[in-house]
Chain A
């Protein structure tokens, strides 16, 4: 099946620094990728929709200037958490979907556990 690779899997950074997370579709082209955040014991919450060659679409309450998304190619989307703070510590997961007819299946990256100290 389709594979999505996310890197890094774990990162610890100091408050005020920026962290970049990469999401790659390895064997298919993804014009659209999604970035989710999951806090402990909570559900996956969509942060933004990343569109190849255009601006990302952010969900309500997600600061676009803080969570920078770049989708420069059909196989790579990046999420940069700028000026990270401890409350940004979370599990970040990307996904890319494959649409076949009326059916959609999502493939997830392995996730990135961000800890801001």
Chain B
């Protein structure tokens, strides 16, 4: 089983649609969870951290289910500018090292 596994994508959705990405991780000791966004030929940038209670930032909602070792990202009212690759990222307790999923590519279509 891969350490961090994501939906393969690509997701092609119309503007205004709601889209959800899923991610599972294999290390039950993992402590920190993130969604990063990577635009083509650019470095990844933090989109949001994921907390056990779930968290929301505008149109973006992240959820964590520790029992199932599952993380999700929901994007509402998709914009053209949301087109990017979304990376699920996991780290261990107090660990500097992050493990990345392969990413899910999203294309929002006019």
Residues of A within 8 A of B (CB): 6, 32, 34, 42-44, 46, 49, 91, 93, 95, 97, 99, 101-106, 108-111, 113
A104–B43 touching, CB < 8 Å: no
Which residues of chain A have C-beta atoms less than 8 A from B87's C-beta? Answer: 43-44
Number of interface residues of B (CB under 8 A): 23
Q: Given A32-B96, A99-B96, check contact A109 B43 (CB 8 Å).
A: yes
30-57 of chain B: CB within 8 A of chain A = 31-32, 34, 41-46, 49
Centre residue among B42, B97, B101 by max chain A CB count within 10 A = B97
The distance from the CB of B48 to the nearest CB of chain A, in whole angstroms, is 11
Interface status of B17 (Cβ within 8 A of chain A) = no
B97–A102 touching, CB < 8 Å: no
B41–A91 touching, CB < 8 Å: yes
Which residues of chain A have C-beta atoms less than 8 A from B89's C-beta? Answer: 106
B34–A102 touching, CB < 8 Å: no
A99–B41 touching, CB < 8 Å: no
Which residues of chain B have C-beta atoms less than 8 A from A34's C-beta? Answer: 96-98
